[in-house]
Amino acid sequence: MRQQEVLQAIAKYFSRFKEQVNILNANGEFAINIHAENVLIKILNIVFECNLENVNYVEGKNYDSIDLRDTNKGLSIQVTSTSNIKKIKDTLKGYTENEHYNVYSILKVLVLTGRQERYSQDSLDKIIEGKYSFKGSVDIIDFTTLYVLLNKQNDLSKMLAVKELLEAQFSDILEAGKYNDIQLFKDLCKAIKPYFEENGRIFKKFGPNSGADVKEPLRWNLTLWYKARREKLLPNNKIVSTLINEYVSLIPEEHKELFDEFQSHAYAFEKHCEDAGFDYTMYQFPKRIVDVINQVVGE
């Protein structure tokens, strides 16, 4: 059954995500937590049918006890990798003291590493003081909670959307970790080159105007193109973006603007794939970056 296969894939990627957070945090690497907020916004928007924004980016500062919010829906979410009750209580204290409940009637705490089996509701109620509702059994959530909610909603379109987001973010992107030996700009270009070459072949073969090579009309059946961009182009772009972010210090000043152009393109193209109405014509792939990489690597 298609739906069961999709759910199994979601479970697999949620497990990978959780384990990745656990491993990196155990090694004192917490950047994944910030990345998780931005990725999870899209997934949470689907599951909870909302329009969340990252408060820290909007406000330009760390916002006490809230990471994500949808003001119109009165929903706020704190994202954390700490599952103990102290972290929950600290969140509730900040939420109460700042009277966020006057704006956001719903507070969820999303634990990336997995929630505890039980939380003392009495200790939580002492902080809440009846000013708003927060049930540890319901409002402290994790990846398992999101999986169960998707299953209960029984909406294949939602499941597919979540699966595609997870695939784009956490399947092939994990391969970027194998490039730990990059020391020079030339090494970075060598790592990036195969992904650009594959994307170029795919675009030429399946892209909307691929028929132009043989002077044929634009192909109207774009099924293969949509599949290719979801399964190959987006993951490849994500790996390249990760490599650029990881080794940005190796990029010569004269080429930094060009690599920034690619980062803008990758983001805009992803948004266009999510929403066909999003116009990314101002952020086309900077073809000159391929020339630079080929010159540095040596064709």
Banded pLDDT at 299 (limits 50, 70, 90)? low
**pLDDT-derived band of residue 217, with 50, 70 and 90 as boundaries?**
very low
* pLDDT above 80: residue 212: no
Q: Cα–Cα distance between 173 and 246 in angstroms, integer?
A: 13
The per-residue pLDDT of the chain, averaged, comes to 85
Confidence tier at 98 by pLDDT (50, 70, 90) = very high
- Write down the pLDDT at residue 263: 86
pLDDT of res. 209: 62
Exposure of 168 by Cβ count < 10 A (0-12 exposed, 13-18 middle, 19+ buried)? buried
What percent of the chain lies above the pLDDT cut of 90? Answer: 50
Which residues, in sequence order, are CB contacts of 157 under 8 Å at separation 6+? Answer: none
Predicted TM-score (pTM) of this structure:
0.59
CA distances from 195 to 173, 198, 200, 233, 239 (A): 12, 5, 8, 9, 8
What does the pLDDT look like over 7-62, one tens digit per residue? Answer: 988 998 898 888 878 877 777 777 677 777 777 898 999 999 999 988 877 775 55
Model confidence at 177: pLDDT above 60 = no
Euclidean distance between CA atoms 295 and 289, whole angstroms: 10
The listed range with the strongest mean pLDDT (161-165, 238-242, 289-293) is: 289-293
Percentage, residues of the chain above pLDDT 70: 88
Please tell me the least confidently modeled range out of 87-91, 199-203, 221-225: 221-225
pLDDT band at 213 (very low <50, low <70, confident <90, very high): very low
Q: Are strands 140-141 and 68-70 parallel, antiparallel or unpaired?
A: unpaired
Host H or E run for residue 141: strand 140-141
The average pLDDT across 154-167 equals: 87
Q: Which residues contact 148 (CB under 8 A, 6 or more apart)?
A: none
pLDDT band with cut points at 50, 70 and 90 for residue 84: very high
pLDDT on residue 222: 67
246 exposure class (CB count in 10 Å sphere: 0-12, 13-18, 19+): middle
Q: Which residue has the higher pLDDT, 269 or 70?
A: 70
Up-side HSE of residue 217: CA atoms within 13 Å toward CB? 2
pLDDT for residue 275: 77
The answer to whether residue 129 scores a pLDDT higher than 60 is yes
